[in-house]
Structure 1
Amino acid sequence: MTHVVSFINLKGGVAKTTTLVQLAETLAFIKGKRVLVLDLDPQTNATIALMGETRWEAADEAHQTVAQLFLDQIHDTHLFDVNRAIVRGVSNLNRITIPPDMELGPEVTYPRIDLLPSSIRLIEAQDRMADISTRSHYTVSPMEVIRRALEQRFSQYDYVLIDCPPNLGYITQNGLEVSDFYLVPTIPDKLSTYGIPQIVKTISRLRRARSLKIACMGVLVTKYQVGSNIHTRGLDALPELLRRSFDEAGEVPARLFGVRMPQAGATAEAMDYDRSPTNFRKKYGTGTTSGHYQYEFPVMLAGEFIARLDESDPDTVEGPAS
């Protein structure tokens, strides 16, 4: 079964993209899963981290990024080709020999991350999304471009991870439209959590208006600093913020993830595609934080992520209140 999860926060700099890339690589190279990353953020950070600038520039020049999918709808062109646009076997961890005793999932012959890359031209598309309805004589909704073009491809993967831009515009709504769940990574401080009520309210409204299946699978604390008074106070305040936000939206409150992703220099360095890691542990750091090696945190996150998806189906996990 394919699980589609959007990563969203209205605040930049909360390690949203970094967490998604960590999780994608762990699911593929540690858990042996088939993963598709759909990069909807015009900053293209997930794209560059997974395929490097050289390959990305070639894809962008060839009009084979997700931006072109939207621009084709806006300008009535036909440059985007999904078979060319999906980049197969990304991540610099592909340079590493996979251990022969690694357990792969059913019908998986090798761990794999595929990528539909982003482009800064998504900014242009975002500003023109309303034109899709008028140009198509209202036969195509600006919220359904991804669904119409890509959803059938999702069944080839165990997990589809969508990196949403830090807003709730049409591009983000395209990701939410096809998602089973959304996940909110956040630093435990006021600025980073400020937008959570708006996220919950807007997605709840979209879910009802468009009969979507999406639900919140949880809130993940990122860049956590042990001993920080600000983070301690923020972490203490989060459960009440979530309870109030989901109650006001008429939704069942989402749970905090048990794992807290620490602030670590190795995590930022791991986003550099041009580095040549010798193994997963070296890529994500062998230093210790809170009694764990740094490379253990993405593994713990992947375990909790899988468990939450396995424990219930998309219609019941943290879903709408009756």
Structure 2
Amino acid sequence: MAKTKVISVANQKGGVGKSTSVYCIGAGLALDGKKVLLIDVDPQGDLTKMLGLRKPHDLPRALGDVMSDVVSGKEIAEHTEIMHHHEGFDFVPGNRALSAVETGLVNVMSRETVLRQYVDSVKSDYDYVLLDCRPSLGMLVINALAASDYVLIPVQADYLAAEDMTELVGTVQQIKRQINPKLKIGGVFLTMANETNFRRDTVRAVKENFGKHLPVLQTVIPATVRLAEVSTADKSIFKHEPKGQAAAAYGGLVKEVLAIGEKQRGRSAQCR
């Protein structure tokens, strides 16, 4: 069986479409026949709300609870925190309990790898595990990156927003050196692009400037009304507007995500 690929979607800047992208990539991978687990690593629970659980803070069990179990050494007998979504993938909800976990991790041994221990305990049932990171570079994001094979970085199609990536890239490189040597940047992809000349110029500038140092994916996610509605529609863009521009873009992004793993596997085979 092919190795599970664990992918974080991260950017310390908020409002760049992280949760929407995790939802749509996960739904697209499931449509492709992959077994997929989404994990909401954000105390705000935005992804969890998108997936239909409007009151994540009232849930009896979520990611914060299982991370607390890992810290305390308690064996997780049944994974009741894993829920099934009607679009064919599983997910682990996140809620404000994660804030307490993040604060408590400061005093924990191996605090950077608590989430990795949890992911390692469940990932064998899946082809892809996608982690939706909070907009920060705190301990929860460090845990997500420590658990991942790749990080995808959504960037709003605005050059100044793109410049904010520098700190995140530095954090990724530090985690690769000190905690998780297998971590790679799978790619930067542009979100919220509209049809104006200014935006097209921005997209070109980002690709020219960052493409020298980072893999910039070909897909550009457009800003559309239907895509904005995904946050409250209880369905991904593939169900909400399957023949629209945004669904076509996310379909392209899913193909690129599939190709990232295949490329890497090809390189590994050549090395052997």
Shorter-chain TM-score category? 0.7 to 0.9
Residue 125 (structure 1) aligns with: 101
Question: Which amino acid is 2:259 matched to?
Answer: A
Question: What is the aligned counterpart of 1:265 among 225, 233, 240?
Answer: 225
Residue 44 (structure 1) aligns with: 45
Counterparts of residues 1-322 of structure 1 (less than 5 Å): 1=2, 2-28=4-30, 30-53=31-54, 56-58=56-58, 60=59, 62=60, 64-72=61-69, 76=72, 83-87=79-83, 89-91=84-86, 93=87, 112-133=88-109, 141-229=110-198, 231-242=199-210, 253-274=213-234, 282-284=239-241, 286-287=243-244, 293-313=245-265
Deviation at 1:281, TM superposition (A): 5.0
Question: Which amino acid is 1:37 matched to?
Answer: L
Q: What is the rounded CA distance, in whole Å, between the counterparts of 2:175 and 2:267 in structure 1? A: 16
Deviation at 1:315, TM superposition (A): 7.7
Q: What is the rounded CA distance, in whole Å, between the counterparts of 1:72 and 1:130 in structure 2? A: 16
Asked if the contact 2:146–2:180 (Cα under 8 Å) also holds between the matched residues in 1, the reply is no
Identity %: 25
Distance 1:44 1:154, change over 3 A: same
SS across alignment from 1:182: strand
Residue 319 (structure 1) aligns with: none
Deviation at 1:78, TM superposition (A): 5.2
The Cα RMSD (Å) is 2.6
SS across alignment from 2:129: strand
Structure 2 gaps of 5+ residues are none
Q: What is the rounded CA distance, in whole Å, between the counterparts of 2:147 and 2:97 in structure 1? A: 22
Q: What is the rounded CA distance, in whole Å, between the counterparts of 2:182 and 2:240 in structure 1? A: 36
Question: Which amino acid is 1:70 matched to?
Answer: M
Question: Which amino acid is 2:43 matched to?
Answer: P
Q: What is the rounded CA distance, in whole Å, between the counterparts of 2:122 and 2:181 in structure 1? A: 19
Residue 96 (structure 1) aligns with: none
TM-score by length of 1: 0.75
Distance 1:81 1:45, change over 3 A: farther
Asked if the contact 2:28–2:238 (Cα under 8 Å) also holds between the matched residues in 1, the reply is no
Name whichever structure is richer in helix by fraction: 2
Please give the per-residue CA displacement for 1:164-212, whole angstroms capped at 9, x wherever unaligned: 1111211111111111100000112134213211111111111111242
SS across alignment from 1:304: helix
In terms of Rg, which structure is larger?
A: 1
Question: Which amino acid is 1:84 matched to?
Answer: T
TM-score by length of 2: 0.87
The runs of at least 4 aligned residues of structure 1 exceeding 4 Å deviation read 76-82
Please give the per-residue CA displacement for 1:107-156, whole angstroms capped at 9, x wherever unaligned: xxxxx3111110122222222321223xxxxxxx1111112233131121
